Chains A and B, each alone.
Chain A
Amino acid sequence: MPAPRVIVLSGYGLNSEEETLQGFLHCGASGEIVHINDLIDGHKKLADYQIMAIPGGFSFGDDTGSGNAYANRMKNHLWDEVKMFMEKEHLVIGICNGAQILANLGLVPALDGKYGERQIALRHNRTARYECRWVDLKITPNHCVWTRGMDHLHVVVSHGEGNLYAEDSVLEQIKAKNLITATYCKADGTPANSEFPFNPNGALEDIAALTDESGRALLIMPHPERAMYWTQLDTWTLEKEQLIRAGKPFLVEADGMKIFRNAVGYFKE
């Protein structure tokens, strides 16, 4: 199968489209950044792509709730195309603001196939403040395509509204269906147990990432595209000294790249 074609959405204050596309291209995909209005105007067609990435950013300045206004624009103009995209064997990822947009669009978790129904919310951080911090994630072994073969991820969060909330009944289903894909943990791998700053936002059950029932969609608050090269990490200068003294070569990639490689690899099966 040829390399998948990726569409990375942009516009209205999304801002991580370039580095998000870079992750996919680095792993061998082809793709491009497309302004949402070019989809609405019909200059570009969602049907021409196999992976849709909604990157991080500050669409509409988080006004009326993070991701809400951008999701509304997609709903108002692109809902049929989005639904069709979800029904195919395609992949979808929403990172940070993109995750908030997926939640507001009702694409994840979409329990019982109810695409379009908002089932979870990403509320203001418990500190009611923007938090840019390095965190550790424990990856749950589940059916999610994006996180195959991963067990942990040292990654950075950068958001004001990542406090995942769902009603009890929804949360139970999420757990029963094993949709929790990553949880915040301490450096030693033990659960964050809602403790700040290990869980940086107060998310229920320390949830950092969720998938849907198909495993092809990933909603993730932390930024793998900011932890995909070694020198992006907060700890690389310490690792550098350790490598120098052990006589080992430096690294190029970091663990965040695995997410992009998994997505591209999916189409090669």
Chain B
Amino acid sequence: MAHRIEIYASVPDTRAQVLKNRILSFQFSDHDVAAVELVDVYTVDKELTAEELEKSASILANPVTQTYSIDDSHLPAQFDWAIEIGFLPGVTDNVGNTAHQSIADLIRRPFTDGEAIYSTQLLYITGTLAQKDIDRIGAALSNPIIQRTQSKTGQQCRDDHGMGTIVPRVTLGKSAKTDIVNVFVTDEELEQIGKNGITDHFDPDGTPVYRGPLALDLPSMKVITDYFSKTEKRQPTDAELETLGQTWSEHCKHTIFAGSLDDIHDGLYKHFIRRATTDVRQNKGKQNFCVSVFTDNSGAIAFDGNYLITDKAETHNSPSALDPFGGAVTGIVGVNRDTIGFGLGAKPIANTYGFCFADPRSKPKLYRGKDKTSPMLSPRRIMEGVVAGVNNGGNCSGIPTPQGFVYFHPNYAGKPLVFVRTVGLIPWHVQGKLSHEKKAEVGDAIVMIGGRVGKDGIHGATFSSEALTSGSPATAVQIGDPITQKKFSDAVVKEARDLGLYHSITDNGAGGLSSSIGEMARDTNGCLVKLDLVPLKYPGLAPWEIWISESQERMSLAVPQDRVDEFISLMHRRDVEATVIGEFTNTGRCIVSYKNQNVVDMDLEFMHFGLPHKTLTSTTTEIRSEQNIIPVCTDFDALFIDMTRRLNVCSSSFISYQYDYVVQGTSALQPLQGRGKVNADASVLRPLLPPLEATPSQPVKGPKTYPPSLQGIALSQALYPTYSELDTYHMAACSIDGAIRNVVAVGADPDRIALMDNFCWCSPEDPARLGQLKRACEACYDYAVAFGTPFISGKDSMYNDFKGFDAISEPIKLSIPPTLLISSLGILPDVTRAVSLDAKMPGDLVYVLGMTRREMGGSEYYAYVGEKEKGTARRGNVVPQVDAASALKLYRTYYEAVNRRLLASGIALGIGGLAVALLKTALGGKLGLSIDLKRMLSRNIEREDYLLFAESASRLLVTVAPQNQAAFEKMFEGQYFARIGEVTAEPELIINGLKGLTIIDIQLAALEKSYFSPLADF
């Protein structure tokens, strides 16, 4: 029988108080919530003696603040409702797992298969609430895809003496067998198999139940049929079809970027992205800093003579739409593995994030099913879940998160975008060999490390290659377990790597073992895997499920046979599960067996190169010009305040403060800058702690100076989705320029910047969308080459569409605006030269570098004006355009000024233009500014609002000490720069207009309020 340990707070519990406030915020009109009590419950599914149980409970409860009960609920004297929330069977339960480990350790007796501890949270609520209110609370506090809720009235709970015991043990009725799939069928049937997946069984009424989409189109299915009929002369197994579905998925093979588009026969990726990098490397000659690009889990550039810096950005959009918390945790922890899986294993040294949401205050009515069934989570739920997920994943992993952004647009309501990125550090050489080169060798053992395999994540790769519809499988989401990963990350990167215990390592991400081992097997041209050896979370998985499961926190390694014992023993000492599951061969075949029967036996060549190339065509869309008569502003103070309140402008410090940005001790420019702590667009890290000059036997006496490794890295990102509907070419150019400019602003060398591209597109079956994509890729080539900034890694996510129904069951399709996120990684030779954005001293001079043009299309200002007029953004016509040659010249001069320490502060002008840069400079420094718009350099602008809010590219705002004025102005001679005002001690922002009148005069206190308050309650 299972035992139930309940832990109660014996002193007021802050979590319960916060929960109560949260419940009160749901606003039950005529009801009230007087008190909320929170109980942590552990359901122990293992036979324990009374003494063992008592000891177990005593180590789970803190005697200073908690009491406990065993198999006997201590009901509060007064309460009206009880709600208990727990995980569904099979969902990762980290708290339960930790309790399991602690108790096994305590009683010195392991848990056997099937024995486990499950955690739940129980709320006792006092208040006059109805069942429907309780249901609402339960629904708001849980997610039905991964959790179950159970509620009782106080009376019922008393009658039953508590909530009762539920053991969410996984029981799988199915037999673990392999099916043969008949693919020698009509095209129509073949197409069905590719789209819906393999038929699992039939419902009693004869309706087929599918296993989940293979996401293989008809041409792909026909190639498969052809291969099996001609080469293998047999039908494929389910495991083989699933393997191909994973390996050939859009997610893994990027079929749209690889396919032939119009006259671009080598595809967008090779023709524009990769070619840009090749050309940049060639142009740079000896100055080339790329070391490993596009071939590994991350890209890498040279940092100094001893180290490489790796970089990778990923998206986790579809899982985050279904389960924002789990999707985001597994997103961030997953991209960490792209670092650990780079070369022989890099150490993760920084995470960054980028979130695109709909306004969390909005309540769009979107349903995946008809008749208001299967509703989309609200923008608020998605935002809160995603933010909390990256918090959990990043913080638990001990990786700083020094940079990130959140961007809002109504069209992200159906599909949020969750960009996560990890930067890594690895020595150039490991055991005398180049660390970025790795190769499995014939005979090497295949070793899987980390978490066990369950049904979670099955069909993740194919799922993200499809639009989000009601058929989306719940198994596509999983809860992350960052500590399991942290354990093996440390064991691999800090120990096994430098002992030379393995030849190769890679991530088990999308497609699970089928992808990782299939990929590594190319090194030796073959593999032999025994699925019976794979450790499972619970029995009953079919072979194909074990092979493609995306259970998280796992990696695969190629370990030479003579190091296997040493490797496994090291992992076990670090409490990391490590199992030999097969070996690499040179048979040319991918062979996977289960109980001595081959369930996959295919040519590796076919597996990797059999996929037919897509042939795509695109069209260009003429954008009709929009009549734009923007009313002339009469109250600039109010306008300025309104703009600072915009979600795309205001502070997102509620996120920054909950992500550890200082762990590892490497921070140099932090996400919140200046005394006023405003959000910065770029951060600086010093990846290597200063070298220790003193040897341990010669202690240092007192503070001393030494020649430290002062080199730093700057991280930033930029995106301009609102420009996309007008012109994706210039959208991409602005994103590239923005990402570069942000790191230049903090002091990065413009000639040592690497980029990454993350395309999040929509409706790729629509030739017009492909046309937009092509134009964006053209700009990627043109501007990466012009700026000399190579792409070192990239990723695309093509299906960011929501297809479902609105509140009156009308079909609705909501597509994201085509979004290109450009991430930048810059090098600073000396972090003490880094420039923060905050004004430093009264009397300093304020300059704008660059030219301001009448380019208002897609601007935040036009969005504001439109929303004020008619509730939706104005689009405008002309988006900002980038002149790379003059921009690069400006950035190089800026860098020279940085090196001569002439700049007291610097900030790139981005969304919201000059106004936002002024706001941040002033609030950051807690100093006033006095600005004269007449001094601005501009083209075709006679309006003050345009001068303030135009988003023209390649501009920066700096402050300069008066004594540096001459030197500074001399450096920029012949380029666009203008001294527009000065920093003042009075805490106010004063702006004089084109007619010489003061148009803006606002106290900083008022700006602080408007800038910090909009998202302060999240």
Contacts and interface: CB of A to CB of B under 8 A. Distances in A.
Interface in A210-242: 223, 225-226, 228-229, 231-232, 234-235, 237-238, 240-242
A236 B63 CA distance: 43
B700 A158 contact: no
Interface string A24-62: 011111110001011001000000000000001110111
Given A58-B395, A241-B904, A73 B487 contact: no
Contacts of A253: 703
B395 A69 contact: no
B395 A130 contact: yes
Contacts of A58: 395-398, 482-483, 486
Nearest to B396: A58
Given A63-B94, A167-B64, A229-B690, A128 B18 contact: yes
B398 A13 contact: yes
A10 B490 contact: yes
Contacts of B573: 35, 37-38, 41
A58 B484 CA distance: 12
A84 B12 CA distance: 36
Interface in B660-703: 660-665, 667-670, 672-675, 677, 686, 689-690, 692, 694, 696-700, 703
Interface stretch (A115-123, A137-145, A175-183): A115-123
A64 B56 CA distance: 12
Given A25-B692, A72-B59, A229-B665, A37 B686 contact: no
Nearest to B98: A63
Interface in B56-108: 59-60, 62-65, 94-95, 97-99, 101-102, 105-106
A107 interface: no
Given A118-B64, A244-B901, A26 B106 contact: no
B99 A63 contact: yes
A76 B105 contact: yes
Contact of B660 (A73, A129, A130): A130
B696 A3 contact: yes
Contacts of B698: 28
Interface string B640-668: 00000000000000001111111111011
Contacts of A30: 696-697
A15 B486 contact: yes
B309 interface: no
Given A58-B395, A61-B482, A237 B835 contact: yes
B706 interface: yes
B840 A28 contact: no
A69 B62 contact: no
B1018 to A, nearest CB: 10
B692 A22 contact: yes
Contacts of A65: 60, 62
A28 B699 contact: yes
Given A61-B482, A229-B665, A163 B95 contact: no
A68 interface: yes
Contacts of B186: none
A129 to B, nearest CB: 5
A16 B663 CA distance: 7
A242 B841 CA distance: 9
Contacts of A99: none
A64 B94 CA distance: 10
Central interface residue in B62, B486, B573, B667, by most chain A CB within 10 Å: B62
A77 B104 CA distance: 13
Contacts of A132: 656-662
Contact of A69 (B18, B102, B668): B102
A250 to B, nearest CB: 6
A64 B15 contact: no
Interface string B1-42: 000000000010111011100000000000000000000000
B699 to A, nearest CB: 3
Interface in A52-109: 56-58, 60-65, 68-69, 72-73, 76-77, 104
Nearest to A238: B840
A15 B398 contact: yes
B483 A245 contact: no
Contacts of A128: 14-15, 17-19
Contact of B675 (A3, A120, A160, A238): A238
Contacts of A16: 398, 663-665
Contact of A250 (B19, B106, B694, B832): B832
Contacts of B699: 3, 27-29, 264, 268
B506 interface: no
A19 B689 contact: yes
Contacts of B696: 3, 25, 28-31
Nearest to B664: A19
A166 B64 contact: yes
A69 B481 CA distance: 16
A165 B64 contact: yes
Given A35-B573, A63-B99, A132-B662, A125 B14 contact: yes
Name B's interface SS: loop
Interface string B478-492: 000111001100100
Given A129-B658, A132-B662, A235 B675 contact: yes
A223 B662 contact: yes
B869 interface: no
B483 A60 contact: yes
A156 B677 CA distance: 14
Given A12-B487, A63-B98, A156 B662 contact: yes
A172 interface: no
A16 to B, nearest CB: 6
B665 A234 contact: no
A237 B59 contact: no
A133 interface: yes
A191 interface: no
Nearest to B107: A76
B692 A26 contact: yes
A118 B63 contact: yes
Contacts of B694: 25-26, 28
Interface in B848-866: none
Contacts of B686: 231
Nearest to B11: A165
B831 interface: yes
Contacts of A240: 832
A183 to B, nearest CB: 19
B391 A130 contact: yes
Given A15-B397, A167-B64, A131 B98 contact: no
A27 B841 CA distance: 35
Contacts of B668: 231-232
Contacts of A226: 662-663, 665, 667
Nearest to B18: A128
B834 interface: yes
Contacts of B672: 234
Contacts of B674: 238
Interface of A: 2-3, 10-16, 18-19, 22, 25-31, 35, 37-38, 41, 56-58, 60-65, 68-69, 72-73, 76-77, 104, 118-121, 123-133, 156, 158, 160, 163, 165-167, 202, 223, 225-226, 228-229, 231-232, 234-235, 237-238, 240-242, 244-245, 250, 252-253, 257, 264, 268
7 contacts: A30-B696, A64-B99, A69-B102, A118-B64, A225-B665, A226-B667, A240-B832
Interface of B: 11, 13-15, 17-19, 59-60, 62-65, 94-95, 97-99, 101-102, 105-106, 391, 395-398, 481-483, 486-487, 490, 573-575, 656-665, 667-670, 672-675, 677, 686, 689-690, 692, 694, 696-700, 703-706, 708, 831-832, 834-836, 838, 840-841, 901, 904, 925, 961
- Pairs A-B, 8 closest by C-beta atoms: A15-B398, A28-B699, A30-B696, A19-B665, A63-B98, A128-B18, A121-B64, A237-B836
Given A3-B697, A68-B60, A252-B708, 11 more contacts: A25-B696, A60-B98, A61-B482, A61-B483, A69-B101, A121-B62, A130-B660, A132-B659, A167-B64, A229-B689, A252-B705
